Structure 1
Amino acid sequence: MTETVRGTVRGMGSRANPAFAAGAILLPVLALLLAATVGTREQHTYVHVMAGVLWTGIDLFMAMVLGPVLGGLAVDARSSVFERFTPKMTFLMPSLALVTIVGGITLALRVQVFPNAQPWLALFTAFTLLPALLSIGWQFDAFRDRRWLVAFGLSLLVSVAYLGTTLPAFEMTSHVIAVALAIVTVLSVLGFGVLLPGEVKMYREMTSDDPDTEVISRIGMRNAKLAGVQGVFQLAVVASMVSLRYGGF
C-alpha cells in the first residue's frame, strides 16, 4: 500500500475521463442533497429510487450479460475490456450505492417509518465501517500502514461512541426496516470492502511495469460474479420496501 491515495484517485480519474468521474460523483450526490434538504418527499423518493434502479440494473447487467460475454473471450481480450471498463465503474457504482443507501435512510426518517432509528443506525455504522476497513486492510496487506491504522482507529472510535450513546435506548424497530438494514449492511461491506478494492487492485496491475492480464481478468470476472450476488440482495431490498409501503408482498 505504498502508492498515495490521491495519486491512485487521480490516475483512475484520468483513465475514466475526468469529466465522467466528476459527474458520476457530483450529480447523484448533489441531487440527493437538494432533494433531502429543500426538495419535496416525492423528489426525495425519486432520487433514491432512480439511484437504486441504476445501481441494481448495472449489477444485474454485469452478472447476467457482460460477465458471460467476457467469460467467452481470451484472457488478453477480457483484460483489455476491463482496463477500459473498470475506471469508470470505480467512480459510478460507489456513488450510486451511497446515494441509494443514504437516500433510503433519510427518506425513511423523513416519512417516519423508521422508529427507534438511532441505535439501529449506530449498529449499521459499526457493522459496515469496521468489516469493510478490515477487508481493505487484508486485501492490501495494510494492517501496519499508518493511513489504514488512522482510518480504522477513527472509525472504531466513532462507532464505539455512537453505540455507547444510543444503545441504552435500544428498542425494536419495524421488522421490515431491520431486515432491509441487515441486507444493506451486507451490500455495503461487499461493495466498499471487496468490489471497490478489487477495482483499485486491477488499476494498479494495469499501470504496473509488467501488467499481468491474468490477474486483471481474474479480479474482473470475480467482481462481475459478485455484482450478481449484490443484484440478488438488492432485489430483496426492493421486495422489503414494497412490503413496507403496501403492508405485504
Structure 2
Amino acid sequence: MIEEKQHRIVSPYSMLTLLVPIAGLIFALVYGNLLALNYVHVITGGTWTGIDLFMGLVMSRVMKGLEPQARTQVIKKLVPVMLFLMPSLASVAITSGINLADRLGLLTLESPTIIAAIVIVIILSVQGFGMIMPTEVRVYLELRKKEPDRNKIIKWGMRNIKLAGSQGVFQVALIFVMANLALGFV
C-alpha cells in the first residue's frame, strides 16, 4: 500500500487542482458578478504567469545542476501540476479574460490593443495546449512504464520547463497589454 502510494503519479489532489479554478469561473459566470469574474481572471492569470516564470527562471537552473535520477524524480513530481493545474489555470484565465473584456465593452477587433492581446493568447494557447500538454502526457505515460526511459523523461521535462519560461515572457507582454486596456488605452 505504501509503495503504491509512493509510486502514484496522479493523486486526488491533482483533480482538485484541475477543478478549483473551473469552479471559480463557473461561480463567477453563473452569478454574473463582474468583481468575481475579475478576481478569477487576475488570480488564475497571475498564478499561471508566476508558475511559468518560476519554472523558466528558477527550475531550469536548478534542474541543470541535478543528477539524472534526481531530475527524473523532480519531473515526476511536476507532472500533476503541468497536466492538471496549468491547463486549468490557462483555460480559466483566457475564458474569464474574454468574458471580462466583452462585459466591459472592450472586445472589439478594431482595437490594436485587443488585437495584440489576441495574438499573444493564441501564441500561449499553441504553446500550452499544442506543445507543453502533449509532452506532459508523453512524460506521464513514460513514467507509468515498468522500465521508464530516464533520458526521454529528462529531455521532455527540460523542454517543457524551458517552454514554460517562454510562456512567462509572453504573459508579461500580455500583462503590459492588459494594463494599457485597464487604463483606457484601447
Partner residue, 1:240: 177
- In 2, Cα distance between equivalents of 1:247 and 1:84: 42
Partner residue, 1:222: 159
What is the Cα deviation at residue 245 of structure 1? 1.4
What is the Cα deviation at residue 178 of structure 1? 0.7
Matched, 1:195 2:121: no
Of 60, 64, 69, which residue of structure 2 is paired with 1:67? 60
| Residue identity in the other structure for 1:86 | V
- In 1, Cα distance between equivalents of 2:59 and 2:10: 19
- In 1, Cα distance between equivalents of 2:82 and 2:28: 24
Q: Please say which of residues 38-47 and 177-186 is displaced more in the overlay.
A: 38-47
Partner residue, 2:112: 175
Q: How does 1:62-141 map to 2 (within 5 A)?
A: 62-115=55-108
- In 1, Cα distance between equivalents of 2:67 and 2:14: 29
1:130-184 per-residue CA deviation (whole Å, 9 max, x = no partner) reads: xxxxxxxxxxxxxxxxxxxxxxxxxxxxxxxxxxxxxxxxxx4211111100100
Structure with greater Cα Rg = 1
Q: Structure 1: which 4+ aligned runs deviate by more than 2 Å?
A: none
TM-score norm. by structure 1 comes to 0.69
Q: For this pair of structures, how many residues does the alignment match?
A: 179
What is the Cα deviation at residue 88 of structure 1? 3.0
Percent of aligned pairs with the same amino acid: 44
What is the Cα deviation at residue 15 of structure 1? 2.1
Q: Does the 8 Å contact 1:16/1:88 carry over to 2? A: no
1:159-218 per-residue CA deviation (whole Å, 9 max, x = no partner) reads: xxxxxxxxxxxxx42111111001000100100010001111111111123211111011
Structure 1 residue runs of 5 or longer lacking an equivalent are: 1-13, 116-171
Partner residue, 2:9: 15
Specify the SS of the correspondent of 1:247. coil
Structure 2 residue runs of 5 or longer lacking an equivalent are: 1-7
1:9-29 per-residue CA deviation (whole Å, 9 max, x = no partner) reads: xxxxx62211x1221122111
1:84-125 per-residue CA deviation (whole Å, 9 max, x = no partner) reads: 22123210000000000000001111111113xxxxxxxxxx
- RMSD of aligned C-alpha atoms? 1.5
- In 1, Cα distance between equivalents of 2:91 and 2:43: 13
| Residue identity in the other structure for 1:17 | S
